[in-house]
Each structure stands twice: as structure tokens, then as C-alpha cells.
Amino acid sequence: MSLLVVGTVAFDAIETPFGKTDKIVGGAASYISLSASYFTKEIGIVSVVGDDFDENFKSLLTSKGIDLGGLQVKKGEKSFFWKGKYHTDLNSRDTLDTQLNVLEKFDPVVPENFKNAEFLMLGNLVPAIQQKVITQMNKRPKLLVLDTMNFWLDIALEELKKTIAMVDVLTINDAEARQLSGEYSLVKAAQKILEMGPKVLIIKKGEHGALLFNKEQVFFAPALPLEEVFDPTGAGDTFAGGFIGYLAQTKDISFENMKRAIIYGSAMASFCVEKFGTQKIENLTQEEVDERIQEFVDLVQFDIALV
Amino acid sequence: MSLLVVGTVAFDAIETPFGKTDKIVGGAASYISLSASYFTKEIGIVSVVGDDFDENFKSLLTSKGIDLGGLQVKKGEKSFFWKGKYHTDLNSRDTLDTQLNVLEKFDPVVPENFKNAEFLMLGNLVPAIQQKVITQMNKRPKLLVLDTMNFWLDIALEELKKTIAMVDVLTINDAEARQLSGEYSLVKAAQKILEMGPKVLIIKKGEHGALLFNKEQVFFAPALPLEEVFDPTGAGDTFAGGFIGYLAQTKDISFENMKRAIIYGSAMASFCVEKFGTQKIENLTQEEVDERIQEFVDLVQFDIALV
């Protein structure tokens, strides 16, 4: 097993200024594993759904080489459901409905053949559950990456800080970095957060790109300026999936390679927002991914020779 | 004459979350010309002040090789004055006071020895006055760059559109690009604005960097993530000054060279915000500028070899 992904597999209902969906498949682990599958084939998911979940989507994941041996299916129960509405600028949204359902009593069990995974991606989830997965591994993975959100900062800060202290890379957005650190400047925020345990911090700024920090260096990856952003749902998870997928493929966790990984993550996220839900990232070709990467190169590369 | 700069030379009083100033020197032409003076020495200013203006600052400009032969001094009148207060996030501000004073009846006169300037930078000012300067030139400069702001979009849109149609490069911020084009997507906004006349558009996004568009290409320059942003006043003008100063130095107006110029502009702006007013950009060394440029290279350069 190259990459173990933990997170929700769920249903979403989404409303954006451009349209709305009924229940469609979503969830952090869905986006992360789909995105990562363009880079590495040995992926396993640990998650939980009800028996109402979409069989076609499960088949799609399996066809991408994603092992669902760690996906618990709860008979007679319903999958996690989130309903949200985005504002005109797409940078903010209101949660209209959250039904925890199967997540309420979720007790993750890591299958034996997943316990030696080299890369562990902890998608957004209850911090205590994220910890339970880490402690079930046979040995410490080569790289542990944690994603979380403001909800856990608000209601489970101490538990979240414990989880943060256990990982190598933390990914959060700019508002969350400010909340977690108490610093407005993202440079100062990063310094404080890197004191909490992680060696690397990624601050996601949505349409304004992403920053990659370690204690000595900083790297910035822009978001691609797009003609249309249709639905931002899952963009952060797709970003994380491209990031860890590329690292799992190359098995190189140096800062230099993380720069490349963050560009791949940004490229995958730029696809995600072009259609509703997982639609756009279900069937990309290698050529499309390569072309998109080339657009990022063209977007930021310049040539200054300092004398 | 290499570069002619038109714009205000004025007094500001500034309040930020970190402190406040009494009257200090400011104005678009002050920031632009100071910033450009690190790249080219033949600079002239066309502007107006009252006899209350700061003689030491005029000496400073002259010592940088900036020709004040086009700076009218109105006896018994007062210089333009702006007072503003920034909000906590420094991205928005309230204007507390505006005293037009000498600007009210400003009739720009371009001195003979400025009329062959190769580069013309029209800093933020009444659009009709900007036009008056263009029409006084002996021949069309190699490059005309126009900066403006939402105020003129609100009260003098038709006149502003005429000015926009006369220039090669327009620089505005993201909100202004949306207002001018009626498009939320900056990519679509850029397409519409480039139909209005300019060959190149620069959209400034403050702490989120800047985008450079022509009809076929797009380039993104980040802002440097800083520990402290002290005072954003003049950052956009300093950016424009670095941009046109570098172009005037290199005399190369290709898109590739504009990429470099926008990085130099961003570097100069990153200095500007570190202290109140023009303080920080009055006395930089070549080493400081070069080091800052290297930080931009380190911030965004990555190495992906597509096969």
C-alpha cells in the first residue's frame, strides 16, 4: 500500500450562483483519492457509508485502483450528508444542513494490508478519529499529512492540537491559520504553527493560491486564473490529493519536491472547480493534466539573471 | 528624458492599526518617481504643489536625478491633502478628509525637454488632465502606462474610457477591473478591458499579487509574504514605478520583459509597505533591491520537467 486516505465518503447537495444539485457524491476521501489516483495506483480508503451509498461511485473508485477494503458499510443507516450554498464571490458559503448519520459512531478500522502504507493522508474529520488511525499503523509512515477545518478549531481545539503534533504536514486555509495561531500575518502564523509539531505547513488561499512553509523556506503556488469557477466544493481536498499523490508517486519528501507537489495539487484543484462535485476529476487524461501543469509553468516562470 | 511621470505630489495623514502620522509627503508621482529612480536616472515630474510643500523632499527627489522642472508651485495656495484610516486587515480604508487645494485648477504644462520622453507614466489623476499631458508630447512615447482608481470610474467614466483608449498599459486593482468590465471572473474582465484599447492590462491584487495580461498570455507575480505590513499607502504607485522604471532602463517592452518588470515592481512595493509613507523607499541600496528580487525568485521558482 502506497497511500492510505482517511476521511468522509458522503453525499452533498450544493447550490452555487451557477446552478444547484440534488444529492451527489462527495466527501474528503472521495476527492482526495480520486485526485491522487492520477499519480499513484496503490490507494486505500478508511471511511464509513450507509447502505444508501452510490454503488456506481464505488465501482468508479475501484476502477481507479482505489481499495475500498477499509470502507465500512452500515446496514440500515444513512451516509453523511452536507448541504451548502455558496455566495456570489464563491469564497464563502453557508451550511444549510448537516446530517452526521453513520459518522456519529464511526470507529475506524485500518485493514491489515493498509497498515504499512508509506503515505497517510488524514482528510478533514473528527480529530480523535484521525488519531485512532495513526495509532493503528504498524510503523510510522514516511509522511503524515493532516487536513482539518475551522469547525474543529471551534469545538475540539485541544484534541486537534494533539493530532497536529503527530503529523509531518498540516494543510489549512488562511482564516484557519490565523485562528489557530492568533497572528494576522501569515508569515508569523506559520512560524507559530510550525512550533506545534508539523515540519511543513501549507496555507490554502483558494483563488489566491497556496503557501508552503518550513522553518527556513517559503514557496508560493498561484491558483490558475479561470474564466469560470463553477463549484469550489472539494477543491481543497483535490489539492491535497494531488499533493500527496505526487509525493507518493515520486517517494521524495524534500522541500524541493513538495514545491512540485503543490503545483500538481493546484492543477488538480483547478480542474475540480470547473464542474459540480467530482464530475470533472473523474475522467481526466494524462495529456490534460500535463497541459494544465504547463499552464502553471507559463503563469509564474520568469527569467531574471541577477549579476 | 527617459521617463515622464504625471500625478499628485501631496501631503497625506495616515492611520493604520500600527500607528498614525501627521502630514507626511505622499502623492502618486512621489512614489512612482522615487521607485523608478532605482532603475533609470532621467526622470521628470509634471505636477502641482502649493508653497507649503516640503523643500527637503523636493531636494531628495532632485538628488535622485528627478527633474522638477514640470512641478508648478502655486504661491499662497496649499498642496493636495488626503487623510485616511486603514482597517485591521489593511486591505480596505476609509477616506477621512480630501482637500483638493491646488489640484482644483491644475492645468498641466509639459516642459520642452520632457516632450520627447520615451516612457510616460500617468499616475492616478483626473482623466481629462491625463489626456492633456498625452496631447502635449512631441511624439507618441514608446510606452504609455495609465493608473487610475474607482473614484474616476464612479464620477468620470466616459472621460476615463477615452484616456484608457489612448494608452498601451492599464494598471487597476481587482475590484476596479470588475467594476470597469462588469465581469466577476478576472480572466473575462481582462478580455473585455483589452477590447477597450490597451494592449496590456495589469490587475493589482494587493497582498495577493498581480496579474499581467495581453490578449494571448497571462503572467502572475505574487506579493512577498511579509511578517509586518505597516502602511499600504503608495504600494500601488511604488509597484507602477518599479514596473516602468525597469522598462525604461532596459528599453524592452516585450511581454517577457514585462514579466521581469512586474517582479521588480512587486519587490519595490514590498519595501514600501514596511514603513510609513515614502520612508522605506527613500534610501535603498542596490544590494537590498537585488536580495529582495532573489526572494521572489526563491518564492515562486520550481522545476518541473514534463516528459
Which residue among A184, A208, A260 sits closest to B302, beta carbon to beta carbon? A260
Q: What is the pLDDT of residue A91?
A: 77
- CA neighbor of A42 nearest in space, from A116, A109, A108, A107: A116
Q: What is the largest CA-CA distance in chain A?
A: 70
The domains of chain A are located at 3-300
Evaluate if pTM is beyond 0.90.
yes
The A residues from 159 to 198 touching B (CB cutoff 8 Å) are 184-188
Using a CB–CB cutoff of 8 Å, tell me whether A209 touches chain B: yes
- Give the residue on A whose Cα is nearest the Cα of B264: A304
Rounded to the nearest angstrom, the minimum Cα separation between A89 and chain B is 8
pLDDT of B235 reads 96
A291 touches chain B (CB under 8 A): no
- Nearest residue of A to residue B304 by CA position? A260
Each residue's pLDDT tens digit, A175-208? 999 999 999 999 999 999 999 999 999 999 999 9
Chain B partners within 8 Å of A228 (Cβ): 185
Identify the DSSP state of B112: G
Contacts of A306 in chain B (CB under 8 A): 290, 293-294, 297
Q: Which of the residue ranges A243-252, B50-59, B82-91 would you say has the lowest mean pLDDT? A: B82-91
Question: What burial class does residue A72 get, using C-beta atoms within 10 Å of its C-beta: 0-12 exposed, 13-18 middle, 19+ buried?
Answer: middle
Are B223 and B266 a contacting pair, CB within 8 Å?
Answer: yes
Cβ separation B302–A259 shorter than 8 A: yes
| pLDDT band, very low/low/confident/very high, at A307 (cuts 50, 70, 90) | low
Percent of chain B with pLDDT over 70: 99
Q: What's the 3-state SS for chain A?
A: CCEEEECCCEEEEEEECCEECCCEEECHHHHHHHHHCCCCCCEEEEEEEECCCCHHHHHHHHHCCEEEEEEEEECCCCCCEEEEEECCCCCCEEEEEEECHHHHHCCCCCCHHHCCCCEEEECCCCHHHHHHHHHHCCCCCCEEEEECCHHHHHHCHHHHHHHHHCCCEEEEEHHHHHHHHCCCCHHHHHHHHHCCCCCEEEEECHHHCEEEECCCCEEEECCCCCCCCCCCCCHHHHHHHHHHHHHHHHCCCCHHHHHHHHHHHHHHHHHHCCCCCCHHHHCCCHHHHHHHHHHHHHHHCCCCCCC
Of B185, B226, B299, the CB nearest to A226: B185
Phi, psi for residue B141 in degrees, rounded to 5: -60, 165
A214 touching B, CB under 8 A?
no
Round to whole Å and give the CA distance between A214 and A254: 11
Question: Does A298 lie at the interface with B, CB-CB under 8 angstroms?
Answer: yes
Strands B119-122 and B143-147: what pairing?
A: parallel
Dihedral angle computed from the Cα positions of residues A143, A204, A186 and B190, in that order, rounded to the nearest 10 degrees:
140
Angle between helices B28-36 and B235-250 (to 10 degrees): 40
CA distances (Å), origin B243, targets A37, A204, B143, B196, B236: 42, 28, 12, 22, 10
- For B214, counting Cβ atoms within 10 Å of its Cβ (0-12 exposed, 13-18 middle, 19+ buried), the class is middle
Tens digit of each residue's pLDDT (9 = 90 or more) over B196-240 = 999 999 999 999 999 999 999 999 999 999 988 889 999 999 999
Pairing of strands A43-50, A81-86: unpaired
pLDDT at position B92: 83
Average pLDDT over residues B286-306: 92
Report, as an integer, the average pLDDT of B270-288.
96
Question: Considering the domain B3-300 in this protein, what is its CATH number?
Answer: 3.40.1190.20
Query: Which of B184, B187, B228 is nearest residue A185 as measured by Cβ atoms?
Result: B228
pLDDT-derived band at A90, boundaries 50, 70, 90: confident
CA distance A10 to A27: 5
- Beta strand extents in B17-63 (DSSP E only): 19-20, 24-26, 43-50
Within 10 A of B290 (CB to CB), how many other CB atoms are there? Answer: 14
- Are A180 and A198 a contacting pair, CB within 8 Å? no
The answer for B 61-90 residues in CB contact with A (under 8 A) is: 88-89
CA–CA dist B268, B37 (Å, integer): 11
Kindly state the cell numbers that stand for A25: 457524491
Note the pLDDT of residue A304.
Answer: 87
Tell me whether B225 touches chain A (CB under 8 Å).
Answer: yes
User: Is the CB of residue A220 less than 8 Å away from at least one CB of chain B?
Assistant: yes
pLDDT at residue B292 greater than cutoff 60: yes
pLDDT digits (tens, 9 = 90+) for A35-57: 999 999 999 999 999 999 999 99
Mean pLDDT of A225-253: 95
Q: How many CB pairs under 8 A join A and B?
A: 97
Does residue A306 have a pLDDT over 80? no
Backbone angles phi, psi at A172, to 5 degrees: -145, 170
Identify which of A187, A294, A301 has the shortest CB distance to residue B225.
A187
**Alpha-carbon torsion, ordered B162, B164, B165, B168, to 10 deg:** 150
CA B100 to mean position of chain CA atoms:
19
Mean pLDDT of chain B: 96
Q: Nearest by CB to A297, which of B184, B209, B304? A: B304
B291 near A CB under 8 A: no
Report the pLDDT value the prediction gives residue B117, as an integer from 0 to 100: 98
- Determine whether the interchain pair B263/A217 forms a contact, defined as Cβ–Cβ distance below 8 Å: no
Residues B22-57 have pLDDT tens digits of: 999 999 999 999 999 999 999 999 999 999 999 999
Question: For residue A213, what are the contacts with CB-CB under 8 A and spacing of at least 6?
Answer: A190, A194, A200, A201, A202, A203
Cα–Cα distance between B299 and B297 in angstroms, integer? 5
Chain B touched by A255 (CB under 8 Å): no
Minimum CA–CA partner of A259 in chain B: B302
ipTM entry: 0.91
Query: What average pLDDT does this structure show over B7-19?
Result: 94
Answer yes or no: do B187 and A218 touch at CB < 8 A: no
Are A227 and B185 an interchain contact pair (Cβ–Cβ within 8 Å)?
Answer: yes
Say what the pLDDT of residue B307 is. Answer: 54
Banded pLDDT at B90 (limits 50, 70, 90): confident
The percentage of residues in chain A with a pLDDT greater than 90, rounded to a whole number, is 93
Phi, psi at A267, each rounded to 5°: -65, -45
